Amino acid sequence: MEAVLVIVALIFIAFLALGAYATVKAVGAAKRGVDRTVAQARRTVEDTTLRAKSFQPGTASELAQLRLKLRTSMRATQDALHARVSDDPTLKESIDLFARLSAHGHELDGELKRLETEPDKAHVQGLLPELRARTEQITNSADALRHAARDRATRFAGDDLDSLSLQIDLEAGALRHWTTETDPVQETPRPGSAQEPARPAITPPGVRPVYPWQKKPRPESTT
């Protein structure tokens, strides 16, 4: 009896542990989902604010344009690489390189953001040429990775399509290749021998099967 009670207690504890684990996993997944939603909403607000600033005159507009260009290029490259890495594992090296590039991108974006509140506009104006050059260098590198990944995926898709088309052409040719059975050579009847009646070359068709996609024949009119 005591053994049965111990087994029941262990099963109960196991169910409690399993329930606690499932609860923790569900809470963690929900928290990650909320974090992603909040981060996406924050990015949307920041991008909208930057677009509004980009239409204003002065250095604030130029800083906003640089940040928008940087963020748009980096985000597009990140999405493109991560979307294709599951189908092409060789892109993992590209993702590692992009992670290093992202560090420079985040540093530049933070610097541009701090300069938005710099009261010395003349100082900011003097920094703009160097900031433009850094932005151009980072975005060009990001664009090169993204375009290369896209071209690689397009080339693989084209090669696969060419191979598939060739296989289909070969299969279609094999399906069209048939041989006609020739009739055996009839022996010349000897004199005095009874000649058998000629048989038809093709056996008359029997009852043809009716397929479910065929229409039923209409009854003939008895008028």
User: Measured between alpha carbons, how far is 222 from 101 in angstroms, rounded to an integer?
Assistant: 88
Question: What's the whole-number average pLDDT of the chain?
Answer: 78
Cα torsion 125, 129, 131, 134 to 10°: value is 180
Query: pLDDT per residue over 81-122, tens digit each?
Result: 998 888 888 889 999 999 999 999 999 999 999 999 899 989
Question: Which of 86, 216, 80, 212 has the alpha carbon at shortest distance from 151?
Answer: 80
The tens-digit pLDDT sequence of the chain (223 residues) is: 667 777 877 787 877 777 777 777 776 666 666 666 666 677 677 778 777 777 777 888 999 999 999 999 999 999 999 988 888 888 899 999 999 999 999 999 999 999 998 999 899 999 999 999 999 999 999 999 999 988 888 887 777 888 888 888 888 888 887 755 545 555 555 555 555 555 554 455 555 555 554 555 555 555 4
Query: pLDDT per residue over 170-186, tens digit each?
Result: 888 888 877 555 455 55
User: Measured between alpha carbons, how far is 152 from 84 in angstroms, rounded to an integer?
Assistant: 10
Question: Which of 93, 98, 195 has the alpha carbon at shortest distance from 142?
Answer: 98
Whether the model clears a pTM of 0.85, i.e. scores above it, the answer is no
